[in-house]
Chains A and B, each alone.
Chain A
Amino acid sequence: DTAVSQTPKYLVTQMGNDKSIKCEQNLGHDTMYWYKQDSKKFLKIMFSYNNKELIINETVPNRFSPKSPDKAHLNLHINSLELGDSAVYFCASSQSGVGNQPQHFGDGTRLSIL
């Protein structure tokens, strides 16, 4: 069983379109994250949710809107896609308050904007 699963794995779309990436975890964790990995492989936190509540929003453009219907799901919707949005987006999950437990990552979604 996949612990953190993201769909789709690849997403190719035109500039200006709207797209969504879905993430689900079956680990029973209460916190979920979105990270962005740019073309230079640099990973940066975008958002985190704890029990469906937004905790971290790292100055991400408001074209990005995360949604957490329950603590096992965290989706990312992106409006009006721009060339600079091309990246790999990783979902992760962890149990809060247990700091030495690692964050578990999904396999990433490679988003390519034409």
Chain B
Amino acid sequence: AQTVTQSQPEMSVQEAETVTLSCTYDTSESNYYLFWYKQPPSRQMILVIRQEAYKQQNATENRFSVNFQKAAKSFSLKISDSQLGDTAMYFCAFMISNFGNEKLTFGTGTRLTIIP
């Protein structure tokens, strides 16, 4: 079974600073996908960024980037120039590439607060 661990229950940073959220996972699979989802107080689940395990290049989406270390099974999220709207719960998620059986396994989340 796959597990996802987020070791930082809460974090806070000043606006405009850079913050890194950590995520580690455990799997024996070789082909899988990793995601970061954001859940603001509105409760929506919003995809932030995704990474295919077979790609060595780290994914980036504007101010969001990941540091994917496959051997270490680590998938951290870096938020640059943080903004007040980044305040949210952030969930790391793992998915095996398995046709029709593609469930997401989530970590316990990190509550991020951006301080004005």
Interface residue from B39, B43, B99, B109 paired with A97 (Cβ < 8 Å): B99
Which residue of the partner chain B has the closest CB to A46? B103
Interface string of A32-60 (1 = CB under 8 A from B): 01010000111111001010000110100
A100 with B50: CB separation less than 8 A: yes
B52 with A88: CB separation less than 8 A: no
Q: Count residues of chain B with CB under 8 A from any CB of chain A.
A: 26
B103 with A56: CB separation less than 8 A: yes
Nearest CB on A from B105, distance (A)? 8
A103 with B104: CB separation less than 8 A: yes
Residues of B within 8 A of A90 (CB): 45
B103 with A48: CB separation less than 8 A: yes
Of B32, B52, B99, B108, the most chain A CB neighbours within 10 A belong to B99
Main secondary structure of the interface of A (DSSP, over half): strand
Interchain CA distance A90-B106 in the complex, whole Å: 13
- Residues in B lying within 8 Å of A, measured CB to CB: 31-33, 35, 39, 42-45, 47, 50, 52, 89, 91, 95, 97, 99-106, 108-109
**For the complex of A and B, 9 pairs with smallest distance between CB atoms:** A105-B45, A99-B97, A50-B100, A43-B106, A45-B103, A102-B47, A96-B100, A97-B99, A108-B43
